[in-house]
Structure formats: C-alpha cells, structure tokens
Amino acid sequence: MKPNVLFLCTHNSCRSQIAEAYGKVMASDLFNSYSAGTALKKQINQDAQRIMKNNYGIDMEGNGQYNKLIDSVPQCQIVITMGCGVECPLYNCDFKEDWGLDDPTGKPDSEFIYTIETIKTNMENLMEYVKNNYQ
C-alpha cells in the first residue's frame, strides 16, 4: 500500500501547495500527496499558481488543489514541514522531515523559481526514501 505524505506549512498557500503538486505529478505511483496548514489564507498564492502553470505546466487550482487545515486530510505516514516552524507534536507518523524553505511570498519571481526548484530536488530525494522504505 502506498504511504500518504503530508506537506505541512502554516498557511497552506505556497510551499506546501507546490510540494503537493509536484508529489502528484512526480510520485503518484509511490505515494499519495496532501498538503495542509495550521491556519489558512483565502487561496493558493497567486504568484506560485502563475509560475507553476506558466513555467512548469502544473495548474494547481485547475488540478483541484485548495487550502486545507491539517485535520481535513487523511492520516499520513510521512510529514514534511516546509520550514515555517510548524510543529505537530500530536501527529503520529513514521517519518518527519523539515525542508527549511524560506517563504517567497511578496518576493520576485526568481525567489519563487528557486523555491520551486528546491522543492523538486527535495521531492526526488523523498521519492528515493519511499522506494527504499515502503516498497
């Protein structure tokens, strides 16, 4: 059975949404991808949405992604925090990792692209971890 992976960030509007999108595109054969936050913004960060769609061909909102709270996703075996200091001490999981990403919100497109590329690289490493530990 494929593990569930939760990408967790404070507002579930940018980094965690990008990670969920990449997980669905790159790793759907290995794991189920979810993102959530501990608080919500009204919508997915529109700069992240625009850059992911225009530069990478991934339409997060068009693919049905939306802002979610942590209690609205299924139990996940793997939890990846984005670097925003979100702690889930009561969340029971097999593996937890923090990707330590700065929030690009309000910054130039180059900062978003750097964050997106870093998430893609981290996703490749996560895929390898899942292959080695859940297959």
Catalogue all structural domains in the chain, each as residue range(s) with its CATH number: 4-134 (3.40.50.2300)
What pLDDT is stored for residue 86 in this prediction? Answer: 63
Q: Maximum Cα–Cα distance for the chain, whole Å? A: 40
Q: Sign of torsion, CA 122 15 61 36?
A: positive
Query: What is the DSSP secondary-structure string of 76-96?
Result: -SEEEE-SS----TT---SEE
pLDDT band at 54 (very low <50, low <70, confident <90, very high): very high
- Could you tell me if 8 and 36 are in contact, meaning their C-beta atoms sit under 8 angstroms apart? yes
Kindly tell me if the per-residue pLDDT of 1 is higher than 90: no
What is the C-alpha to C-alpha distance for residues 86 and 2, in angstroms, rounded to an integer?
Answer: 25
What pLDDT digit, counting tens, does each position of 64-86 carry?
999 999 889 999 999 999 987 66
Please choose, from the candidates 66, 102, 109, 107, the residue with its C-alpha nearest in 3D space to the C-alpha of residue 85.
Answer: 102
